[in-house]
Amino acid sequence: MKLLWVWVVLPFAFAQLVTAFFDFNETELSLIESLEYGVSKINYNPLMVGLTLIHTAGAKGAVCLDGTLPGYHWHRGYGSGANSWLIQLEGGGWCNNIRTCVYRKKTRRGSSTYMEKQIPFTGILSEKAEENPDFFNWNRVKLRYCDGASFTGDSENKGAQLQFRGQRIWLAAMEDLMSKGMRYANQALLSGCSAGGLAAILHCDEFRGLFPRTTRVKCLSDAGLFLDAVDVSGGHTIRSLYSGVVGLQGVQHNLPRICTNHLNPTSCFFPQNVINHIRTPLFILNAAYDSWQIQSSIAPPSADPHGYWHDCRLNHAKCSASQLRYLQGFRTQMLNAIKGFSMSRENGLFINSCFAHCQSERQDTWFADNSPEIRNKPIAVAVGDWYFDRTAVKVVDCPYPCDKTCHNLVFR
């Protein structure tokens, strides 16, 4: 599938910034998340940060799917940010059965052998004040994702030589970073995109528990609000996917007890059933028409055998009136899912009416001259205002097509 990323700031698209080819397997590696390392023209010379393997992880059994050591990329903070820490959990879908996990362990999402030795730090990870006004001089860490269950599994399959050790990787990484200075943090933010955004929700209170009460600790979930939605055929594609992940990888023991006490483990992998119980301040950043959820949960090919949704799935401009009504219903479901969450004055919200996925790590969507806005506030400013308590931030966009600042994703 050829991918074009279309930048929309006027009623018509006028800038094609990224063209690339990706293989798309909806249960394994999200095509959309592959954009993560696409560097836009806005940041043509980004900071490249090297991979650090966690050498103490092996003895703890905290290993990737194939048994290799997990790792992270760390750029040290300085000045006023020397004791501030941002942990960004990498995304990249899930694997829900032996076949997809065996495939995954031969990729960077399942083995550190295949991970890039250096990655660009852009958006919320940028070291430039003009690109990342509030977090540019913090210690910024990107924790690589190589377990396939949002850092929550703890099991193995000896026959297939698969290690499902996401929870152990999370713990080993936190222990390693605490020993390298994070224990002295006066402020910390756990964030993540997509599967990493889900992980940031599931691990938020655990992260808070690492620090003394005097430390300001908050969490940010970008594109992690995966809804327990019915697909276009009336089925439950994403619930089936999550059921496989939870069952295969032994996730149930590492989900918030306040949820599993009254709901089944698969339900507790859905953030809508968890967010109301999180005690730590949490910011939810999500596109109301999440591109990944449209392609892989609402209208996947498996639920659309006649291809009625094919064009709409790839390009919102090709959706019929009835398809747009269906997508508006999805937006309504998302807004209903966050009603209780938004009642808390400590939480933050930025739900923009874009066809997008992961907006905090891309420079063009995080903070640029024409990045997406709601009420004239770009995402970076909204998150910063909320984190530092400069002002309450709970902004929800008007429904599509009113927002002309979106950077919509279009696939061809």
Buried b / exposed e across 148-184, counting CB within 10 Å, b at 16+? bbbbbbbbbeeeeebbbbbbbbbbbbbbbbeeeebee
**Contact in structure between 17 and 5 (CB atoms under 8 Å):** yes
- For 259-286, b/e burial (b = at least 16 CB within 10 A) is bbeeeebbbbbbbbbbbbebebbbbbbb
Residue 82 CA to residue 24 CA, distance in Å, equals 40
CATH match for 44-396 among 3.30.2010, 2.40.30, 3.40.50, 1.10.287: 3.40.50
What is the reported pTM?
0.92
Instruction: Give the per-residue pLDDT at 412.
Output: 81
The answer to whether residues 221 and 284 touch, using CB atoms and an 8 Å cutoff, is yes
Distance CA 371, CA 160 (A): 45
Which residues contact residue 284 at a Cβ distance below 8 angstroms, ignoring those fewer than 6 apart? 221, 224, 225, 275, 338, 341, 347, 348, 349, 350, 351
**349 vs 57: CA distance, rounded Å:** 35
CB atoms within 10 A of CB 61: 14
Residue 16: per-residue pLDDT: 27
SS3 for 71?
strand
Of all helices (H) and strands (E), which one includes residue 336?
helix 321-337
Which pLDDT value is given to residue 42? Answer: 53
Distance CA 315, CA 181 (A): 46
- Side-chain-side CA neighbours of 117 within 13 Å: the count stands at 0
Q: What SS3 state is found at 389?
A: coil
CA pair distance 210, 206, nearest whole angstrom: 7
Query: 201 and 219 in contact (C-beta within 8 Å)?
Result: yes
pLDDT of residue 44: 72
Distances 254 to 203, 261, 269 between C-alpha atoms, Å: 9, 12, 10
Q: Which residue has the tokens 């650090």?
A: 52
Q: Which helix (H) or strand (E) holds 143?
A: strand 139-143
The Cα 82–Cα 295 span in angstroms is 41
Q: Give dist(CA 67, CA 110) in Å, integer.
A: 9
pLDDT of residue 35: 52
For the chain, what are the domain ranges?
A: 44-396
Residues 6+ apart with CB under 8 A from 307: 301
- What gap in Å lies between CA 249 and CA 242, rounded to an integer? 11
Catalytic residue annotation? 194, 290, 357
Structure tokens of 121? 């730090």
Sort strands 47-53 and 2-7 into parallel, antiparallel or unpaired.
unpaired
The tens digit of pLDDT for each residue in 203-254 reads 999 999 999 999 999 999 999 999 999 999 999 999 999 999 999 999 999 9
Which portions of the chain are predicted below pLDDT 50? 1-30, 34, 36-39
Please tell me the distance from the alpha carbon of residue 397 to that of residue 371, in angstroms, as a whole number.
Answer: 15
